[in-house]
Amino acid sequence: MMQLALIYGGRSVEHDCSIAMYNNVADILNNTPNTGISPVSIYYISRCGDVLRLVLGGDIVPKHDEFAARAEMHPLASLAHLLKSDGLFVFSLLQGQDGEDGQIQALAQFHGIPGSFGDKTAAMLSADKYLQGLVANRLCPELTPIPMIHIIQGNLEAGIAEALQHLAGPCVLKPNTLGGSFLTECTDELSEGGLRSYSERIAPYDPSFLVQRRIFGTEYTCGVLIDRHKITALPVARINNPSGFLGYDQKRQTGSCSVEFHSIENTLQTRIASISTQIVREFNLHTFGRLDFIVDEQQRVYFFELNVVPGLMTESFFPKMLAKAGFDFCHIIRLAASNEMYQRRGEEFRKMETSRIRYYGGASTVAS
């Protein structure tokens, strides 16, 4: 029986999504027979940064409200010690800040906490939409870059001037590091006043934002699974979005958008799957992820973003792609644990070998 800990919540605009993911995972683990997976500890990071912990002792996995009523509270500074003392594989349901920005990844890597967290560099890069776009477009010449300007709050005047000079017509404004399309807006025409007003709205949440030319076309999403060095693209899904704009509100309205698999042209599916595999390999994802694209009438493919921890709610896109490929969530957990065991062997060896290096007057030696 595989024993593990779950962690969710976080100080993020995606906090509620993480709770919904946890509740769905609780249902799956409680209602699926013979999974061979036994959650032992549950961790929750509150919006204000407190840690709640519950040791199950063989009980079923409680939903969030019951968990919060039964759990013990700990300071955030104790999280590493608690996870380390458990000695369990930790499956993370944290999204956005705390979950996908490199912080929990660095903590786990430094303290040697096994889990699905993945590489800290990959997480930090994927949390920055501007940088991940630059890297993805450089890696894949078959992508068409979206014209965009990165505006930093500390250099607002220059950023606004550059956006007005180089971009015209319909544009999309989005925070650079926030997830869930939070505060993402579209506008028919840029103006200095509009950009200043948008800057003020996002300033409490993000130190920079993107101004992108709005691409009109069809959106696609591609999930991936990583098994050690083998990367498998899940069936590419077309996103049906009647509103034509998939923002924060649209993502949270039940039935506002859906995905379909049967009507995607095979050549386009192959292109998107190939691009996704290239990006994921270079970003060094741990076990799974999801990449979003848009394709215009000329069949040009534009990269939107990479999600290190895609949504795992019942209605989310990734579980639908997973099911289409014949997998379930328990497969993800087992695969993540297998990947972590494999990667940790190499990481421990590298740490041991690196610690033996000594430098004397510019020359290096290997300590015996």
The answer on pLDDT for 42 being more than 70 is yes
360 residue type, one letter: Y
**Once rounded to an integer, what is the mean pLDDT over residues 283-298?**
95
Instruction: State residue 245's pLDDT score.
Output: 61
**Once rounded to an integer, what is the mean pLDDT over residues 126-145?**
95
The answer on pLDDT for 121 being more than 60 is yes
The answer on pLDDT for 194 being more than 70 is yes
Instruction: State residue 38's pLDDT score.
Output: 93
Residue 113: name the closest of 30, 7, 230 by CA: 7
Residue 235: name the closest of 320, 300, 311, 157 by CA: 320
- In this structure, of 81-90, 104-113, 309-318, 343-352, the range with the lowest mean pLDDT score is 343-352
Mean of all residue pLDDT scores within the chain: 91
* Percent share of the chain, pLDDT over 70: 90
The answer on pLDDT for 248 being more than 60 is no
DSSP secondary structure letter of residue 274: H
| Bridge pairing between strands 72-74 and 218-227 | unpaired
Alpha-carbon distances of 147 from 163, 202, 213, 279, rounded to whole Å: 10, 21, 6, 20
Instruction: State residue 34's pLDDT score.
Output: 85
**Once rounded to an integer, what is the mean pLDDT over residues 172-197?**
94
Residue 246: name the closest of 293, 194, 209 by CA: 293
- In this structure, of 175-184, 222-231, 251-260, the range with the lowest mean pLDDT score is 251-260
Q: Do domains 2-116 and 126-137+217-327 have the same CATH topology?
A: no
Neighbours of 177 (CB within 10 A): 20
Alpha-carbon distances of 127 from 44, 77, 181, rounded to whole Å: 21, 23, 13
- In this structure, of 251-255, 264-268, 342-346, the range with the lowest mean pLDDT score is 251-255
Instruction: State residue 351's pLDDT score.
Output: 66
CATH number of 2-116: 3.40.50.20
| Residue 342: partners with Cβ closer than 8 Å, 6 or more residues away | 228
Instruction: State residue 251's pLDDT score.
Output: 55
Q: Which residue has the higher pLDDT, 245 or 27?
A: 27
Backbone phi and psi for residue 294, each to the nearest 5 degrees, phi listed first: -135, 145
Burial class (CB in 10 A: 0-12, 13-18, 19+), 122: buried
The answer on pLDDT for 256 being more than 70 is no
Beta bridge pairs of residue 232: 225
DSSP strand E in the chain: where? 2-9, 37-45, 51-55, 72-74, 89-92, 148-152, 171-175, 185-187, 208-213, 218-227, 230-233, 237-240, 258-260, 288-295, 301-307, 357-360, 363-366
Instruction: State residue 102's pLDDT score.
Output: 93
pTM: 0.90
The answer on pLDDT for 117 being more than 60 is yes
Instruction: State residue 355's pLDDT score.
Output: 74
Give the separation between CA 172 and CA 245, rounded to whole angstroms.
Answer: 10
- The highest-level CATH class for domain 126-137+217-327 is alpha beta
The answer on pLDDT for 11 being more than 70 is yes
Per-residue pLDDT band for 209 (boundaries 50, 70, 90) equals: very high
Domain segments of the chain as ranges: 2-116, 126-137+217-327, 148-213
Instruction: State residue 363's pLDDT score.
Output: 61
The string of pLDDT tens digits covering residues 136-175 is 999 999 999 999 999 999 999 999 999 999 999 999 999 9
CATH number of 148-213: 3.30.1490.20
Per-residue pLDDT band for 322 (boundaries 50, 70, 90) equals: very high
